[in-house]
Amino acid sequence: MNIVETAIHAGNFTKLVAAVQAAGLVDTLSGEGPFTVFAPSDEAFAKLPEGTLDSLLQDVEKLKGILTYHVLTGKVISSNLSGVSNAATVNGQEVTIDATNGVRVNDSNVVSADIDCSNGVIHVIDTVLLPQ
């Protein structure tokens, strides 16, 4: 299964899948890749201030910018993140990586790593990443 199919099948990414659909990124994330996706769970989206997701779903360009901030080009498994301090995202900005005690991406913890997909890998995170 590709990244989108895996996210749908997992059942705990309903908000992420809805956002990917609203942003028109389903075909991209179902494509050849490979991609590394730091995927916020539904619980991560629940941490956003009330109304934030609804507002983003209405602003496709801003939503695309946030979603592509969660994606790296290439398949990067968690063991390859140690010793890396930052990584360029698809939206052009960098995320900070800290793998000294588990894996952190910016202010988010990777709670489940290395979910293998036919076109990349998913790392589940506990906070939605917001570009600067």
Q: For the chain, list the domains and their CATH numbers.
A: 3-125 (2.30.180.10)
pLDDT of the residue at 29: 96
Cis peptide leading into residue 49 (ω within 30°)? no
Residue 81 pLDDT > 90: no
Q: What is the pTM of this model?
A: 0.95
SS3 assignment, position 39: strand
Residue 132 pLDDT > 90: no
- Residues β-bridged to residue 108: 105
Residues 6 or more apart whose Cβ sits within 8 Å of residue 27: none
Residue 78, H or E segment: none
Crossing angle (nearest 10°) for helices 60-68 and 14-22: 120
